[in-house]
């Protein structure tokens, strides 16, 4: 019989909903699963909302005190989907109580917090993973394989953009993501952390950054009193030039003011023998260019990453049937539970707390570079 593993969810909104869905549905596809997730308890500050979330998602109980999740004897995995400022203290306390932890990105509000979280995880006898779910897109894993196996040859360029438009309306309220005390940064941490992780996952560590940040709207209506205005204390967009330790150069860009872009996560890699390009809005595809062959037929090809030989596809549908954004979370929680049950390493496929720390170092460097107007060399 397959063992069961208890899950405690911190947060019931966007990410809490996505993660709960993944835990609930993972055994349906990964059969037999390493263990069957049991949705034990969910935390939220608003009693009526968290009660409704518990009923909708299938949790046995709910609480308005996150400490109850950590002290719950039926909970083995604490999934931290709380705002950024609650990642550090809560995750450390969970690890010290012997709970496995899945923590949303960015890992900490800054590198110092993330380093302490990583050091705590190293001392603990539990698994700790950062929820960089785009590592679990089959096309992204294929992109990494093409680079790591040398198919593209020496890599010259990496350029990535993560663009959204949801803040263009000046009357959009001052939510927590626009508050430095709660979010730390704007799109640098919210979106930039994803493309930085993909760069790290595929190419390796970044050596230096030179960044520019911009704020377009300084004040917004308060969420619960639209007649009063509050100050936006994070950036609205950033652009950076980066250099990698392995010699490549590149650019990173993230904005929540990109008109027409809903969730455009795109990267392109150019090597001496070929190039690849990925676009999350067409997440089942990987564009591929290789120099070899007849010049008359040279050009980009489009790989539909839905064959049985591709990562994870055999667990889902017949060849040619596409996966969705939600499947990245299912793959993610499967990876975590498999690592827990079979005592496997989180990395290199999953993002370890060390990966999360290194990510935070780059985030801090971007802020420092933009604030001081200088190139910043990275030191881990």
The pLDDT-based confidence of 2 (bands split at 50, 70, 90) is: confident
Residues 49 and 185 reside in one and the same domain: no
Strand partners, 303: 286
Residues 120 and 140 reside in one and the same domain: no
Identify the CA nearest to 144 among candidates 195, 205, 203.
Answer: 203
- Across the chain, mean pLDDT equals 96
**Cα 161 versus chain centre, distance:** 14
Residues 196 and 308 reside in one and the same domain: yes
The pLDDT-based confidence of 225 (bands split at 50, 70, 90) is: confident
Domain assignment of residue 234, given as a range: 135-350+355-377
What's the CA gap between 320 and 279, in Å, rounded? 18
- 82-112: pLDDT as tens digits: 999 999 999 999 999 999 999 999 999 999 9
pLDDT exceeds cutoff 60 at 1 = no
Residues 119 and 42 reside in one and the same domain: yes
**Would you call 171 helix, strand, or coil by DSSP?**
coil
Q: CB of 133 within 8 A of CB of 329?
A: yes
Tell me what pLDDT residue 296 has.
63
Could you give the number of structural domains in the chain? 2
Tell me what pLDDT residue 163 has.
98
- 156-200: pLDDT as tens digits: 999 999 999 999 999 999 999 999 999 999 999 999 999 999 999
Residues 189 and 309 reside in one and the same domain: yes
**Average pLDDT of the residues in 19-48:** 97
The pairing of strands 77-80 and 4-10 is parallel
The pLDDT-based confidence of 292 (bands split at 50, 70, 90) is: confident
Residues 222 and 322 reside in one and the same domain: yes
**Average pLDDT of the residues in 264-280:** 98
The pLDDT-based confidence of 297 (bands split at 50, 70, 90) is: low
- 105-136: pLDDT as tens digits: 999 999 999 999 999 999 999 999 999 999 99
């Amino acid at each position: 019989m397959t063992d069961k593993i208890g899950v405690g969810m911190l947060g019931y909104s966007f990410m809490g909903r996505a993660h709960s869905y993944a835990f609930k549905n993972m055994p349906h596809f990964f059969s037999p699963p390493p263990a069957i997730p049991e949705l034990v308890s969910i935390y939220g500050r608003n009693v009526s909302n968290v009660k409704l979330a518990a009923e909708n998602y299938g949790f046995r109980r709910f609480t308005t005190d996150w400490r109850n999740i950590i002290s719950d004897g039926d909970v083995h995995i604490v999934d931290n989907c709380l705002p950024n400022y609650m990642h550090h203290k809560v995750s450390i306390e969970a690890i010290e109580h012997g709970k496995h932890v899945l923590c949303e990105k960015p890992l900490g509000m800054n590198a110092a917090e993330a380093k302490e979280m990583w050091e705590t995880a190293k001392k603990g006898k539990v698994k700790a993973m950062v929820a960089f779910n785009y590592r679990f897109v089959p096309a992204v894993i294929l992109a990494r394989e093409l680079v790591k196996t040398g198919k593209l040859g020496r890599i010259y360029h990496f350029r990535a953009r993560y663009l959204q438009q949801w803040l263009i309306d000046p009357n959009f309220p001052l939510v927590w993501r626009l508050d430095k005390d709660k979010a730390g940064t704007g799109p640098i941490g919210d979106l930039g952390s994803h493309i930085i992780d993909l760069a790290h996952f595929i190419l390796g560590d970044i050596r230096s950054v030179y960044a520019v940040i911009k704020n377009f709207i300084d004040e917004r209506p308060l969420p619960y009193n639209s007649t009063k205005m509050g100050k936006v204390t994070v950036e609205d967009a950033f652009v950076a030039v980066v250099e990698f330790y392995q010699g490549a150069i590149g650019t990173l860009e993230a904005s929540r003011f990109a008109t027409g872009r809903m969730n455009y996560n795109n990267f392109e890699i150019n090597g001496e023998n070929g190039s690849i390009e990925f676009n999350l809005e067409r997440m089942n595809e990987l564009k591929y260019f290789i120099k070899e062959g007849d010049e008359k037929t040279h050009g980009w090809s489009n790989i539909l990453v839905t064959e049985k030989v591709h990562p994870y596809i055999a667990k889902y549908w017949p060849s040619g049937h596409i996966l969705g954004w939600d499947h990245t979370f299912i793959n993610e929680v499967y990876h975590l539970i498999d690592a827990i049950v079979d005592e496997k390493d989180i990395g290199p496929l999953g993002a370890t707390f060390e990966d999360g720390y290194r990510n935070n170092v780059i985030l801090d460097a971007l802020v420092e570079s933009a604030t001081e107007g200088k190139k910043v060399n990275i030191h881990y």
